[in-house]
Chains A and B, each alone.
Chain A
Amino acid sequence: GQNIDQPTEMTATEGAIVQINCTYQTSGFNGLFWYQQHAGEAPTFLSYNVLDGLEEKGRFSSFLSRSKGYSYLLLKELQMKDSASYLCAVPLPSGGYQKVTFGTGTKLQVIP
């Protein structure tokens, strides 16, 4: 089965760096996604990791350690618009690449 854990809420200061962690347990691993969801809006894709290591995309980076069942999303130079929920998701091992299970999300509040 799938089990995904993320902190429920985090607060960080504008201009700072924040790391949002995600741990997962799965019987088969097919990669890990991060999505961003602003309040009242739809989730939007941020990143996908299938190999160990850090992948950087502008101010956002995502890290994966398959042996530890662990990922994090790193947000640098925080802006007020980064206040949102961040969802970690993993594909179901038996569902092909289409079916994914989402964590409950981490609500990030950026303060001045």
Chain B
Amino acid sequence: IAGITQAPTSQILAAGRRMTLRCTQDMRHNAMYWYRQDLGLGLRLIHYSNTAGTTGKGEVPDGYSVSRANTDDFPLTLASAVPSQTSVYFCASSDEQGEGNEQFFGPGTRLTVL
């Protein structure tokens, strides 16, 4: 693994189904993030984690949950998908230390909820 990966690349999901988007990084970054990106709205933070074992809510957390059992993995779960959750989801990570921490983004997951 080089950098940050996400799976699946794309998914079509029926409304009401449960879905987990996977994110793994091998850079030993403490901080990880989940964003959704929608046309005209830009990137919006869903949830974040400053370090393994801790998580926090971002700008649009409703309908999503995350866990951070270890440094490398940060899955995002949609408990019961709704059409408004159709979006492109990006996972990112950054080094916790200091200011100006650039975020490294995964390739994204394109999710369609029907």
A residues contacting B by CB (< 8 A) are 30-31, 33, 41-45, 48, 50, 87, 91, 95-105
Contact = CB atoms under 8 A, between A and B. Distances in A.
Given A42-B105, A45-B103, A101 B59 contact: yes
B43 A98 contact: no
B105 to A, nearest CB: 4
Nearest 8 pairs of A and B residues by beta carbon: A45-B102, A42-B105, A104-B42, A48-B100, A102-B43, A98-B31, A102-B42, A97-B99
B50 A96 contact: yes
B107 A41 contact: yes
Given A33-B100, A41-B108, A98-B31, 13 more contacts: A30-B99, A31-B100, A91-B99, A95-B48, A97-B98, A97-B100, A98-B101, A99-B56, A99-B58, A100-B103, A102-B35, A102-B44, A104-B42
Contact of A98 (B42, B96, B106, B107): B96
A95 B50 CA distance: 10
B100 A98 contact: no
Interface string B72-114: 0000000000000000001000101011111111111000000
A104 B41 contact: yes
A33 to B, nearest CB: 7
A105 B48 contact: no
Interface string B47-66: 01010000010110000000
